[in-house]
Amino acid sequence: MSDNLLLNLERLRVKQLAFPTADMSVFDKAKKKYKGLFDPDQVEFANDKPDVLMFLTGGSERIAIESIQEYRFYLMLASKEGNSWAAATEVKAWMNQHNIASILVNADSPTAATIVSNFYHALNGVKHLHGQRLGVVGNTSEWLVASTVSPFQLQSRLGIEQVDIAWSDIVFDEVKQIAPDFTALFDCADNKAELTESGKIYEGLASLIPFYKLNALSVECFPLVNKTGHTACLALAKLNMDGVPSACEADNCSAAGLMFAGEVCKTIPWMANTIHVENRKALFAHCTAPTNLLSNFKIDTHYETNKGQAIAGEINAAEVTIFRFDNTLSRIFITLGKVTAKPKLKIACRTQLEVEITESASRYFVNAPFGNHHLIIPGNRVETLKLAALLLRMEIVE
């Protein structure tokens, strides 16, 4: 995750709406009543350019639409008191007619405060993607026939600039020193000479970040292992743990998803292959994973080549959120899965996870998947991802 997660977070601007001649006591009473709804570090009350429209009474419809801008997404809050829900319903209809995205939430619901907080993180996360730079090392792996996003789409849809980098721009043999925290993290590796080679790859890739002013990486792994016998699996695991979203196979679609979740959810996901889906059970696996998402791990060889070093770990979660973009960045698949097993099969990549999913998610995977790679976050992050997707005017597939 970038430092933007900790700095320059903008408060949500909440506009309270009542009939034109309403006394100030109406607004003061509402602020007291809904004090627990808003975190003062995340929210401020404002009259112009609101992010949140809070309906207090009927007769506020005209005031509301005068505050609304095209191409924005709005969170609308209302209750059953004072005809506020009636007013919000009318405005919601007007917004739908004018293709202005919004959601309407019951301000008295026990989940309302969580929705407001999720919206705060989603809005800031989406804003912070703009201007970020993704370094793509090598070429997209030839088997990713459905997953390549055009650099134009990356820029126009998410505000991410793609920077293409050749493997020849990295000279691993010139690495003189490997960060002690890298060798300490993977001290369980039996082959220390191979660990040194993995460390050189980590240092070489890490050096690209300040040189090209990058926020994330996506690396074409197989030419490296086929040429040198060494893998980038440990390097990518450490970079992701360091807070630099780093994808495999020069997959820029997955890299965009890693960046998206890193900003919106403050967690860089695990990028995994879809190994098998049947009877509402989905099996995922890959040879690398952010080590901070693992309860434990050991070092094994890379599955497809049986060379180098890879991560064989256990995802530390009882439930996970699974998502990915399509290759136009206009649709996003999101679902929640219950972890049912953490197998160690010989027929798949080293880190593995089996989850129980919904019937509709099973149909998606079998009938209409967006691609192979999916991104997995420990815990339930569904609503935050949905809010961020709505902000980006994406179609949500569940």
Task: Sketch out the chain's domains with CATH numbers.
Answer: 3-129 (3.40.50.1070), 133-397 (3.20.14)
- Could you report the per-residue pLDDT of 110-135, keeping only the tens digit for each? 999 999 999 999 999 999 999 999 99
The pLDDT score that the predictor gives to residue 8 is: 66
In this structure, the number of other CB atoms found within 10 A of the CB of residue 45 comes to 16
Tell me if 311 sits within 8 A of 289, measured CB to CB.
yes
Distance of CA 208 to the CA centre of its chain: 23
Residue ranges of the chain with pLDDT lower than 70?
1-8
The pLDDT score that the predictor gives to residue 171 is: 86
Can you say whether residue 100 is alpha, beta or left, with left for phi > 0 and alpha for psi between -120 and 50 degrees?
beta
Tell me if 58 sits within 8 A of 84, measured CB to CB.
yes
| Integer angstrom CA distances of residue 371 from 144, 208, 353 | 8, 28, 18
Distance CA 360, CA 355 (A): 14
Environment class of 258 (CB within 10 Å of its CB; exposed 0-12, middle 13-18, buried 19+): buried
Nearest Cα to 230, choosing from 203, 268, 269, 270?
Answer: 203
| Three-state secondary structure of 36-97 | HHCCCCCEEECCCCCCEEEECCCCCHHHHHHCCCCCCEEEEEECCCCCHHHHHHHHHHHHHH
The pLDDT score that the predictor gives to residue 3 is: 41
The pLDDT score that the predictor gives to residue 210 is: 97
The pLDDT score that the predictor gives to residue 33 is: 95
The pLDDT score that the predictor gives to residue 7 is: 46
- Residues 6 or more apart from 231 whose CB is under 8 A from it? 198, 201, 221, 224, 225, 287, 302, 305, 307, 308, 309, 310
The pLDDT score that the predictor gives to residue 364 is: 98
Tell me if 136 sits within 8 A of 108, measured CB to CB.
no
User: Beta 246-248 vs 216-219: how paired, if at all?
Assistant: parallel
Environment class of 46 (CB within 10 Å of its CB; exposed 0-12, middle 13-18, buried 19+): middle
151 DSSP 8-state letter: H
The pLDDT score that the predictor gives to residue 1 is: 41
Angle at Cα 390 formed by Cα 239 and Cα 215, nearest 5°? 20
Q: Which amino acid is at 305?
A: T
Structure tokens at 99: 């293709």
Distance CA 52, CA 40 (A): 14
The pLDDT score that the predictor gives to residue 121 is: 97
Q: DSSP strand E in the chain: where? A: 12-17, 43-45, 52-55, 73-78, 101-106, 133-137, 161-165, 216-219, 246-248, 270-278, 281-286, 294-300, 310-315, 319-325, 331-341, 351-356, 374-378, 395-397
Distance CA 289, CA 315 (A): 9
How many CA atoms, within 13 angstroms, populate the side-chain half-sphere of residue 152? 0
pTM of the model: 0.95
The pLDDT score that the predictor gives to residue 9 is: 81
